[in-house]
Amino acid sequence: MHARADAPDTAPNWPDDIFATLQRFDVRQVPYVPDAGHSKLIQRVLASSTMRGIALTTEEEGVALLAGAWAGGQRGALLMQSSGVGNCINMLSLIPILRFPFLTLVTMRGEWGEFNPWQVPMGSTTQGVFELSGVKVLRASNAAEVPAVLEAAAAQAYNALTPTAVLLSQRLIGAKVFTK
């Protein structure tokens, strides 16, 4: 469960903005590892008649899946959390080698009001891991900038074959709160 300490809305609209952008770019395969920050977007994808939501057991499966999807003529986008980025590192090597369009949307942990220290190491290195792996990084820190950031990311991923990760900041999503 997520709660935002700095805003009253509990049902944010930015996942709808993301969904609309993916739809406009004709994204057909959406692999994901279940994640609270992406839960609304996952619901939209699973209810869609044009997109296929594909639950994974680990994030690296999604990278390989998108390579196959492209060979078969479809675009995809991988949804994951910052902790899952570390699971992908070797598989990310397929992207420059096969030169397929890669877009991933990453909900961030360990960077803004985090309560769980175990999330901090991977959350702190997510951007660096991507950049060392040849993936460009864009960030959305508030709901208002989500549409423009997604548009830019999708355009460069699908039109310019520039692998791109959008980090959806923990400030945007809201720090996870556990109550006893």
Partner 1 sequence: MSKANLLDRRQVVSTLLADRKDIVAIGGLGASTNDMCAAGDHARNFYLWGGMGGAAMIGLGLALAQPKLPVLVITGDGEMLMGMGGLATIGLQKPANLSIVVLDNEAYGETGGQTSHTSAAADLVGIARACGIEDSRAVTTMAEVEAFATAVHDVSVGPRFANVKIDSASVERILPTRDGTYIVNRIRGDLGFQPI
Contact status: 91 vs partner 1 (CB under 8 A): yes
- Select the residue interacting with partner 1 from 3, 7, 55, 144 (CB under 8 A): 55
Name the residue among 134, 148, 146 with its Cα closest to residue 41: 146
For residue 31, the minimal CB distance to partner 1 (Å) is 8
Sole window of 8-16, 53-61, 102-110, 114-122 interacting with partner 1 (rule: CB under 8 A): 53-61
Rule CB under 8 A: is residue 56 a binding residue for partner 1?
A: yes
Part in contact with partner 1 (CB under 8 A); list of ranges 49-57, 109-117, 135-143, 171-179? 49-57
CB closer to partner 1, 24 vs 99: 99
Quick check: 148 binds partner 1 (CB under 8 A)? no
Q: Could you say whether residue 60 binds partner 1 (CB under 8 A)?
A: yes
End-to-end CA distance of the chain: 13
Sign of CA dihedral 60, 98, 131, 108: negative
Q: Does 157 bind partner 1 (CB under 8 A)?
A: no
- Binding residue for partner 1 (CB under 8 A) from 20, 46, 65, 137? 65
Cα–Cα separations (whole angstroms), residue 45 to 7, 42, 79, 98 = 26, 5, 11, 26
Which helix (H) or strand (E) segment holds residue 107: the answer is strand 103-107
The identity of residue 31, as a single letter, is: P
**22 counts as binding partner 1 under rule CB under 8 A:** no
Dist CA 61 CA 127 (whole Å): 20
Q: Which residues, including other chains, have CB under 8 Å from residue 124's CB and lie 6 or more apart?
A: 110, 111
Which residues contribute to the site for partner 1 (CB under 8 A)?
A: 28-29, 52, 54-58, 60-74, 76, 90-91, 93-94, 97-100, 159, 161
